[in-house]
Structure 1
Amino acid sequence: MGSRVLARRSEDSSDSSSLHCPQPEPQSGRSSDGSPPTSGSRNDTGDMESWGWSGSLIGWNEAQLKLLRSAWRPSTRKVYKVAWNRWLYWCQKHDVDPCRPTGSTVARFLADLHLVHKLSYNTVLLHKSVVATLSNVENAGLLSSHILVKNVLKSIALRKPVAPKPPIWNIDSLSSFLQHRKVSKENVFATCSHTATLLLLCSGRRVHDLTLLAVDPDHFTDSNDSIVLWPIFGSKTDNATYRQSGWKLFSTDTKNLDPVYWIRQTVSILDSRRKLAKCNNLFVNIRGQSKAASRTVIAGWVKSVLTEAGILSSAGSLRSAVASKNWDNNYPLDEILARGNWRSSNTFSRFYKREVMPASVSNSNSITRLFNPVK
């Protein structure tokens, strides 16, 4: 992720419960490779965004700070916090002020990430963006464009050129497995895992997008042979001017591959837990406290189905597998982008379009046609 994106978000984002730049104290729990400890650090808090921004946040009232804070998703904080903590401990080791670094200091830090900790080029880029953005909001652009920073990054990129993307598994194999899978509609786990997998297989959307599907009248329309789901705001691409498109799922004669049938089963079987949770989400936890199912929970459901099918990949790999197969099936690029809710063709081409492994069956074209994006 480039610093330009992070820097832009930094103008709109802060959690200023403590308006100071932390000076980390020596931590006995620190690992030998310089990584931050997993516990015991006073810097491992939720107000990461305020570190280094204290001078720019003087005079802000609580309402203003709360508004600023709302621009950061919890998942984003977790990713940035790891990079920020690594920066803090590097500064502690080298007696550097983490909130007012020079371009030379940042360049040395990035070099150590690659030379000492063997981090990849993309991971080093993330650390550069986080440090440039969070250390001093007024100088983020200057640090990112510093000549030493740029040349260190260039050297890291040249040392290890980007490797060819490995081929992706074929969704025809999963489609065939689901078609013949024995699923008890009275089994909550089997129903939820089957439905979640089928929705990702049809749509190619992100696993996180399944957490945004709801069954209240404002977000759910059930017709005879189709269902339209309007996701709640919160997708990775959602902003003030853009919303993720709706999901229109169509029925089919093959029951195990019928998303309409399985959505209805999921709505019904989770109804009591949905009421206990006092939420309208399509997917809710099936164990423990009743609440909306998280991305991690849903990914676990999907992963179990993939493993059962003999596909040793993550739940997130479905996104690349579906898009790559659609490309092989000669879907127009604009249609692939719309179906997967991509804002940039470059993102699809660089990270998701891959060679598809051969399969002994071929029915992916029909399964993906059971989904249409709607505005």
Structure 2
Amino acid sequence: MVWYHASLSRQVKGDINPWPVPLDCSTTGPRIRPWADVSPDISRLLQSRGEIVAGLPEPSQGCASTSDKTSGLTEPSVDTHYFKSFKQDRNGRGRLCRYSSVLENTSLVSQACSPHDRCTDFINRVQTSLATSSPPTSTSHPKQVQDDSLPLIRQILQTSGIPAGTIRIIIASWRRGTRKQYACHLQKWLLFCCQRDEDPISMNPHTFLAFLHSLYDKGLGYSALNSARSAVSSISILASDLHNDTIGNHPLIRKFMRGVFNLRPQLPPPSSVWNPEVVLTFLKSWSPAATLSLPQLSMKLLMLMLLATGQRGQSMMHCCIKNMTVKHSRVYFHMRQLLKTSRPGAHVDKLIVCAYSVDRRLCPVLYIKEYLKRTKLLRQSDQFFVQCAKPYKGVSRDTIRRWTKQVLRLSGVDTVRFKAHSTRAAATSLADFRHVPMDTILKFAGWKSSSTFARYYKRPLMADSESRFCHAVLTSTR
């Protein structure tokens, strides 16, 4: 008998492999997994169980003849019951998947499903979900929402009967960074359930505790475990018909997370922040603008804009010359993309950079004009900040962080204690210290209420906080 196994592979480098694989099979031997290109961890697990992951031929080869033997593959046993989720038509093809296997004799396939294969069957359905989705085209926007980034959630929504277009919108509720973070933890959860023969959507608290404990044993701290907790909880609320409670709020899980915090505490942010005057004093030495190298000019301008606007590095990355308005004493960057602080009804529509006529060495508008003139013939992107070497494309978020930390380090700021994002707290704290109205601070930073600033960003400046107590005591004798 001849089985034709089609690829139920996951997406690899933007391509889906649709070419069938012919396998000569009888009724004995290890089972053959009907997809290829699974993750290495799951592939090793299946092979340890005696299951073979079928490979794929090259596209140019097409379908091999039925007389060819696939190297290294033996014949499956009768109990290949992981096909139980696919209803067959009269030709022996699964109705739920256009790439399902074609059986010459369907009566040889058992329809019973043992607990041993519940998890691997769900992996099969996830792989099928990926294979039947449309592969991205080369003309698609690189930041377009890809619903296959969360295949487990996508499969759960499909099982609920939600249309594909609606699923794409639901998955878009998670930002790109959240989807990337969740996908990593959900893959680990799926592999863990497969190793223990557990249903990945059953949400057994004891199984979830064991999963979190396995991550803890690998050295993960409270923050990473809390991310894994949130990722799996996003499944539980979808798989439980939108109940209000999730597996992450189970009393045992909450107690476990409190124990992790006590054993491996996530320390609060520093109680004080560096004084921007230290950085500004250093930046004065990088002048005049015409004599600076392109890396120096880029880093100085970036730091001046971060401090002058109180915005994140993400906002600097989204600044675009097409959406920029340059005037004599002001530069406006109109933000056309979502920021981290964006929410329905609230968005920082533009960044305002004002000139500083008191000291031209610290005037951000002057350095913006110099930067535009210097990069006019070099830039290959509409992004405002570009690379300092060929091909002069727009910078990434990592480059923004690296430039920021380099300026902080050269200024004498402890970059082990203070990260690149600390510029936001330093700028807004100094503005508050110098009695800038709170409404103005909230408008520039994009915050909804003063409680956000007071809780997460308002910090006493280091020089001021360190000397205040000493001066108060020593001057008490006056």
TM-score by length of 1: 0.73
Match of 2:150 among 49, 58, 73: 49
Between the aligned partners of 1:289 and 1:64, the Cα distance in structure 2 is 39
How far has the Cα of 1:174 moved from its partner? 0.5
Between the aligned partners of 1:271 and 1:68, the Cα distance in structure 2 is 41
**Aligned-partner SS, 1:177:** helix
Report how many residues are paired: 321
Match of 1:127 among 219, 223, 228: 228
Are residues 245 and 143 of structure 1, via their aligned partners in 2, closer, same or farther at CA, if it must alter by over 3 Å?
same
How far has the Cα of 1:236 moved from its partner? 0.8
In structure 1, the residue matched to 2:282 is 177
Q: Is the 8 A contact 2:387 2:394 kept in 1?
A: yes
How far has the Cα of 1:286 moved from its partner? 2.8
Between the aligned partners of 2:426 and 2:249, the Cα distance in structure 1 is 36
In structure 2, the residue matched to 1:265 is 370
How far has the Cα of 1:240 moved from its partner? 4.0
Q: State the superposition RMSD in angstroms.
A: 3.4
Task: Using the aligned pairs only, state the percent identity.
Answer: 23
Structure number with greater Rg is: 2
Q: Is the 8 A contact 1:245 1:341 kept in 2?
A: no
Superimposed CA distance per residue, residues 170-217 of structure 1 (whole angstroms, 9 cap, x where no aligned partner):
11100111123235536322221111111001122110110111222x
Q: Is the 8 A contact 1:183 1:190 kept in 2?
A: no
In structure 2, the residue matched to 1:296 is 398
In structure 1, the residue matched to 2:95 is none
Match of 1:109 among 205, 211, 217: 211
Superimposed CA distance per residue, residues 135-188 of structure 1 (whole angstroms, 9 cap, x where no aligned partner):
662337432332322332344445566645423221110011112323553632
Between the aligned partners of 1:71 and 1:260, the Cα distance in structure 2 is 37
Between the aligned partners of 2:448 and 2:378, the Cα distance in structure 1 is 35
**Aligned-partner SS, 2:42:** coil
How far has the Cα of 1:86 moved from its partner? 3.7
In structure 2, the residue matched to 1:25 is 42
Between the aligned partners of 2:301 and 2:374, the Cα distance in structure 1 is 12
Gaps of 5+ in 2: 1-15, 18-34, 46-125, 131-145, 465-478
How far has the Cα of 1:99 moved from its partner? 3.4
Between the aligned partners of 2:450 and 2:219, the Cα distance in structure 1 is 30
Q: Is the 8 A contact 1:195 1:263 kept in 2?
A: yes
Between the aligned partners of 1:143 and 1:319, the Cα distance in structure 2 is 35
TM-score by length of 2: 0.58
How far has the Cα of 1:327 moved from its partner? 3.5
Between the aligned partners of 1:345 and 1:50, the Cα distance in structure 2 is 39
In structure 2, the residue matched to 1:75 is 177
Following superposition of structure 1 onto structure 2, how do residues 141-156 of structure 1 map, counting pairs within 5 Å? 141-156=245-260
Q: Is the 8 A contact 2:185 2:228 kept in 1?
A: yes
Between the aligned partners of 1:180 and 1:225, the Cα distance in structure 2 is 23
Are residues 100 and 290 of structure 1, via their aligned partners in 2, closer, same or farther at CA, if it must alter by over 3 Å?
farther
Moved more, 230-239 or 89-98: 89-98
Return structure 1 stretches of 4+ with deviation > 6 angstroms: none
Are residues 107 and 161 of structure 1, via their aligned partners in 2, closer, same or farther at CA, if it must alter by over 3 Å?
same
Are residues 262 and 234 of structure 1, via their aligned partners in 2, closer, same or farther at CA, if it must alter by over 3 Å?
same
Given the alignment of the two structures, is residue 187 of structure 1 paired with residue 293 of structure 2, yes or no? yes
Between the aligned partners of 1:255 and 1:345, the Cα distance in structure 2 is 32
Given the alignment of the two structures, is residue 98 of structure 1 paired with residue 200 of structure 2, yes or no? yes
Moved more, 304-313 or 51-60: 51-60
Between the aligned partners of 2:293 and 2:204, the Cα distance in structure 1 is 59
Between the aligned partners of 1:343 and 1:124, the Cα distance in structure 2 is 29
Are residues 272 and 100 of structure 1, via their aligned partners in 2, closer, same or farther at CA, if it must alter by over 3 Å?
farther
Match of 1:242 among 332, 342, 346: 346
Q: Is the 8 A contact 2:319 2:335 kept in 1?
A: yes
How far has the Cα of 1:62 moved from its partner? 5.8
Following superposition of structure 1 onto structure 2, how do residues 245-324 of structure 1 map, counting pairs within 5 Å? 245-253=349-357, 254-274=359-379, 276-277=380-381, 279=382, 281-313=383-415, 314-324=419-429
Match of 2:310 among 193, 204, 229: 204
Moved more, 81-90 or 234-243: 81-90
